Amino acid sequence: MQKDDLLRLMRDPNLLSSEKQTLLSSIAAQAAAMDMPCYIVGGFVRDLLLGQPVNDLDIVVEGDAIKFGKSLVKKFGGKLTTHDKFHTAIWQLSSSFILHPSSLDLITARKETYSQPGALPAVTSSTIENDLRRRDFTINAMAVRIDGDHFGELLDPLDGQADLEAGLIRALHPRSFMDDPTRIFRAIRYEARYSFNLESSTLNLINPESLFVIQTLSGERIRHELDLIFEEENSSQMILRAGEFGLFKMIHPKLPLFNPDYSDFLEMDSTLDIPTSRATTGYMLWLMDSSEDEILSIGRRLDFTSDLTYSIWAVSQLKKSLPFLVGSKPSVWTFALEKLPPLSIYVVYLVSREDALLDFLSIWRHVKPHTTGNNLKARGLEPGPRFGEILTQLRAAWLDGDVTNKQQEQDLLNQIT
């Protein structure tokens, strides 16, 4: 692509907000003042060339990124978090830049070597070209130089642009997935996100040898990749594809395939007033038909929080007990459901379409009697377990329609106390 064409894209406010353009110019000016070659890399370049709005700004400098970051903070404010070992920094922008996300990564151009498959790489400072060569796919291995007169120069040593045009995900070398099998998950994400294809020799690199290395990845790294998948719009396509490739058995022998019958529910946004998370919903749908032991063991492997494991367990338990609840009075439903996480209940609703679950979430759980503990005390009753029983009885009466106004509640209260 010609420099002018690229500049036109970089000045398009639909692709790069004017706030981001201002930030880029500020960074570019500072890099030029320090005589430090400075590049935007990765997803930014890929999405810009695809004519799609860009999100993250990942900055790579040929020089010391920490020193560069300190000078940016001095000039433009904000805060710097440094990682001395990797010569990288995160610049938390000051509020004068109204941006989302409000931080950006500053990286020293580097080379990586892997001592053994799946391990984290050893890192040494290097050139931008070597920095691009350590990346995952050609479409992510392009850079745009921004310092001074170089603003808008495209660096594409691995022909990423051609692959973008052809819609191909191509690994950079045959050991790529052995070095870092998280790239297999990444390939699956890009494939479905952009409706691209895995280039044929890259596809062949997803083989028993590289799949085997998945076993050595930490739970946290795998879960991070799965979280990213669930955050995507086409997550169902991705999670089904990951199953087809045989990734799951390598993660945990009991990790099931994702049930395609549930795939539509991944994309569903709840209109209810409950905290939702696409990833949590994804894991619930995925594991709801697993046994209790399997859920616990898979949760340990994937480093789930205890809350997440509990929420998945709650889905599986509720789904199993549903036949025993169907036809019950609202109060029975309410007292059975009340202790469970609302999202677990919603997910069981998605797969069962049992109306009572929705009634509970939208109406019943909010129903409370007018009478309070203080009212009971004022009637001369001694505080104790009996208080709870009385209030529960009043609540049940409201839920089941036995009382429908304040006077009826009073009458019932008089009757039972």
Which residues are at the interface with ligand ATP (CB under 6 A)?
42-43, 56, 58, 135-136, 140, 180, 182-183
Q: Are 100 and 92 in contact (CB under 8 A)?
A: no
Taking the least distance from each CB to ligand ATP, the nearer of 192 and 412 is: 192
Closest contact distance (angstroms) between CB of 224 and ligand ATP is 10
State in angstroms the smallest separation of the CB of 123 from ligand ATP: 12
DSSP 99-133: -SS-EEEEEE-EEEE-SSTTSPPEEEE--HHHHHH
Tell the smallest beta-carbon distance from residue 171 to ligand ATP (Å).
Answer: 10
Q: Tell me the closest approach of the beta carbon of residue 281 to ligand ATP, in angstroms.
A: 20
Closest to ligand ATP by CB, 140 vs 311, is: 140
Q: Nearer to ligand ATP by C-beta: 141 or 361?
A: 141
Please tell me whether residue 153 adopts helix, strand or coil conformation.
strand
- CA distances 371 to 374, 396, 398, Å, are 8, 13, 12
Closer by beta carbon to ligand ATP, 43 or else 117: 43
Sequence-separated (6 or more) residues with CB below 8 Å from residue 263: 236, 237, 239, 240
What six digits make up the tokens of 347?
């997910």
Q: Among residues 101 and 323, whose Cβ is nearest to ligand ATP?
A: 101
Residue 118 contacts residue 181 (beta carbons within 8 Å):
yes
Q: Tokens representing 244?
A: 């087809």
Distance CA 387, CA 377 (A): 9
Task: In angstroms, give the least distance from the CB of 279 to ligand ATP.
Answer: 15
Enclosing H/E stretch for 276: none
* Helix (DSSP H) and strand (DSSP E) numbers for the chain: 22, 11
Using the minimum distance from each CB to ligand ATP, give the nearer residue, 110 or 135: 135
Q: How many CB atoms lie within 10 A of CB 150?
A: 17
Contact 158, 186 (CB under 8 A): no
Q: Is 90 exposed, middle or buried (0-12, 13-18, 19+ CB in 10 A)?
A: middle
Cα gap 282→265, rounded to integer Å: 9
Nearer to ligand ATP, 16 or 345 (CB): 16
Nearer Cβ to ligand ATP (20/183): 183
Quote the least distance from Cβ 237 to ligand ATP, whole Å. Answer: 15
Closer to ligand ATP by CB, 197 or 270: give it.
197
Least distance (Å) between residue 325 CB and ligand ATP: 42
Q: Closest approach of Cβ 266 to ligand ATP, in Å?
A: 18
Task: Give the DSSP per-residue string, 210-229.
Answer: HHHHGGGS-HHHHHHHHHHH
Shortest Cβ 214–ligand ATP spacing (Å): 13
Enter the tokens of residue 389.
């029983």
